[in-house]
Structure 1
Amino acid sequence: MEKQRDKDQINEPFDAYGSYSYADYLSWQLDEMVELIRGKVFRQAAAAPGRVHQEVVMILANRFYEFLKGKSCKVYPAPFDVRLPVSSRRHEDIDTVVQPDLCVVCDQGKLDDLGCVGAPDLIVEILSPGNNKKELQLKYEVYEASGVKEYWIIHPDERTLLIYTLENEKYRPSRLFTLGDRVSSQALLGFELDLEGVFGELS
């Protein structure tokens, strides 16, 4: 019996069991956004992100931008390619290319005209219906292995935030934060976020 295909994996013209590189990714001309995770192709949600998702992106991007003014770190919203090389920065050798909802990069040497090559200091993913498995499992694994110092997962419908902090090459989870909590970042020292000011602004 044929193995069931992951519903997140893109259909034709890609082989669900094939393996692809960033060089392949650059050659594609697609109408939809896709990501590569360990050589496998995953499509973004078929529909555009929901209104609340986009409101959270805009609020957080603004908070980070204001805090980072005059600093070497910069915040980038999706679509923004983050390449996570394992052993080589050559396009043909990179098999993971993701587009986090938000990422903060402090090492300017990781930035080029195509985006970021190497682990950002902080990544924020905002969950949407249909992509929770990818965010919670696959991206968690590659972000941890790649050395992303801090990984935030926001559930906009439940108004919650979970922060994974890298310690000794493994992620340590925070408690689940929600309305009324004020959180700080270990990757961006001095940055604090009042969740009432994020979730409370959602319409």
Structure 2
Amino acid sequence: MKNINPYPSEDELPPIKTLNEVDFSALYSYADYMRFEFEERLEIIKGQLFKMSPAPSRIHQGISGNIFGPIYNALKGKNCRVYTAPFDVRLAKKSVDDKEVFTVVQPDLVVVCDQTKLDKRGCIGAPDIVVEILSPGNNKKELINKYEVYEEAGVKEYWIVSPAHKTFFRYILDENGKFQPTKMLTEGEEVTTSLIPSLKLVLEEVFQD
């Protein structure tokens, strides 16, 4: 008589079809994340699940497009690529094995210059630039939780955009692997970065509705 293992391996675990099946107090990996079959979007930060905000507002999407366009144009003919959400970024610490990756995020935009980090599922490793556009209710997650994992992973620049206040804030990774804040910018000012020398992001145009 064939023995049936009552404790299947992680590879044999069934899909998670509804959000009600998710235990938000448990530790999750990217392997678990790949079992999610429900429509709601979740992120994993250091193994902890976070609900993402509802579908982005029209203003949020407009700002994303207003940032994406100039970056896309500035990167033509370059090795770097820009991607918009939904786009999985897996920040591995010790191993890139799905079961050992405990941070999976979906930033609003990312710029990736090392194409060896790209695969069919997104990006494995730190993007060069991460852009987060704040939405009501998720500011703490963006400013605290993601700040820590982006810094630890070695993201070179972390941009935070506030539609409500029409402000643009940028952290730059220093030679010691620590984020250093820059001046907060707003309408009437421009954003430039050494990572994309030809980019000039006019904030009046970014926040234009």
Runs of 4+ in 1 over 3 A off after TM superposition: none
Per the alignment, residue 13 of structure 2 pairs with none
Match status 1:123 vs 2:130: yes
Identity %: 50
In structure 2, runs of 5+ residues without a counterpart are 1-18
* SS of the residue 1:190 aligns to: strand
| Aligned partner of 2:139 among 123, 132, 141 | 132
User: What is the aligned length?
Assistant: 191
1:28-63 deviations in whole A, cap 9, x for unaligned? 111111110000111111x31111101001111111
Q: CA RMSD in A?
A: 1.3
Aligned-partner Cα distance in 2 for 1:28–1:48: 18
In structure 1, runs of 5+ residues without a counterpart are 1-10
Match status 1:57 vs 2:61: no
Aligned-partner Cα distance in 2 for 1:28–1:124: 25
| Aligned partner of 2:49 among 41, 44, 50 | 41
Aligned-partner Cα distance in 1 for 2:191–2:66: 15
**Deviating more after overlay: 97-106 vs 13-22:** 13-22
Aligned-partner Cα distance in 1 for 2:152–2:20: 30
Match status 1:187 vs 2:195: yes
Aligned-partner Cα distance in 1 for 2:38–2:151: 29
| Aligned partner of 1:77 among 75, 79, 84 | 84
Aligned-partner Cα distance in 1 for 2:66–2:43: 24
Per the alignment, residue 32 of structure 1 pairs with 40
Match status 1:112 vs 2:119: yes
* SS of the residue 1:130 aligns to: coil
Shift of 1:175: 1.0
Per the alignment, residue 6 of structure 2 pairs with none
TM-score after normalising by structure 1: 0.91
Per the alignment, residue 15 of structure 1 pairs with 23
Alignment of 1:91-170 (within 5 A): 91-167=98-174, 168-170=176-178
